[in-house]
Amino acid sequence: MIEIIPAIDLIDGKCVRLSQGDFAQKKIYNENPLEVAKKFESYGLKRLHIVDLDGAKNGKVTNLRVLETVAKNTNLLIDFGGGIKADEDINSVFNAGAKLASIGSIAVKNSEKFFGWLEKFGGERILLGADVKEKRLAINGWQTATKIQILPFLREYFAKGITQTFVTDISKDGLLQGSSNELYEEILREIPKIKLIASGGVSKIEDVYELEKIGCSGVIIGKAIYEGRIQLEELENGKRKTES
C-alpha cells in the first residue's frame, strides 16, 4: 500500500507553495500550519512532510517553532527538512519532534557528515531528499544546479546504507501536470529495494494509483490538495481502495 504524505511548505511560518522551486512564484494557502496539519490528521492521514523553505534558502533551520507546535499537538509522523547543515540542526529537529530528518544539500556537499548522521541515527530516521531537473541533482533549495546524475548517486548512497529517498522532479513541481513516472520506474528498475517516495506534479487521485502500480512506497502531495484537485476524502477513500 502506498503511503499518502501531505506536505506543508513553510515561509515565515505560513503554509505556502512554490512553482518549480521559484521563490518569486509563492502562494500563501494558510497562515496557521497547525490547523492544516490537524485537518490532515482528521482524515486519517498518519504522516506529514514539512519543508522549511526559509531554512533551505538561508542554510539554517528557521521554522523550528512550527515543527514543535505541530509535533506537540498532533500524532502525525513528521519528516522535516530544509537548512539542516550541522549537528546542532539535526539534533534540534529531532528534539522538536520530527521522526525523520530530510537531508538533501548536505548529502551532496558534505557526504562525510551525511554518512556520519546515517550511522548515528540509522536509515529509518534519515530520509534522503533528491531534487532533480533533467535527471541531475539540484541543491540549496533548488537554487543550485549540479552535474550529478540521479541514478549513480542513488545507487552509491543505497549501497552505503540509505533505505529511503524522496525524489522531486523540479520541472513538474507545483504545475499539477502529473508526476515523473518514467523517472521513478527507471529508479526502481535499477534499485528495486529502495523505498522510493514520489514528489512533484501529482494532480489527481489517479496519479496516486499509478505511482502505487510503479512500486513507489509513498507519495508526497501538496498543491493538488491546496488547490482542491484532490479532496482529502479521496485520499481517505483511496487508502481504503488500495487496501482492498
Task: Provide the strand spans (E) within the chain.
Answer: 3-11, 14-19, 22-30, 47-52, 77-81, 100-103, 126-133, 136-139, 144-149, 164-169, 195-199, 218-221
CA 147 – CA 167 distance, rounded (Å): 16
Residue 109 and residue 106: Cα distance in Å, rounded? 5
Q: Give the chain's domain count.
A: 1
| Catalytic residue status for 131 | yes
Among candidate residues 89, 131, 169, 173, the one labeled active-site is 131
Q: What is the pLDDT of residues 80-135, one digit of tens each?
A: 999 999 999 999 999 999 999 999 889 999 999 999 999 999 999 999 999 898 88
67-94 pLDDT, tens per residue? Answer: 999 999 999 999 999 999 999 999 999 9
Instruction: Find out whether 162 and 76 touch, Cβ atoms under 8 Å.
Output: no
Q: Which of 9, 54, 169, 207 is catalytic?
A: 9
Tell me the CATH number at 212: 3.20.20.70
Q: CA quadruple 186, 189, 50, 53: dihedral positive or negative?
A: negative
Q: What is the pLDDT of residues 165-197, one digit of tens each?
A: 999 888 765 556 678 899 999 999 999 999 999
CA distances from 93 to 34, 44, 77, 175 (A): 17, 24, 13, 30
With cell 503554509, the residue in question is 15
Domain range for 152 is: 3-243
CA 243 to chain centre: 23
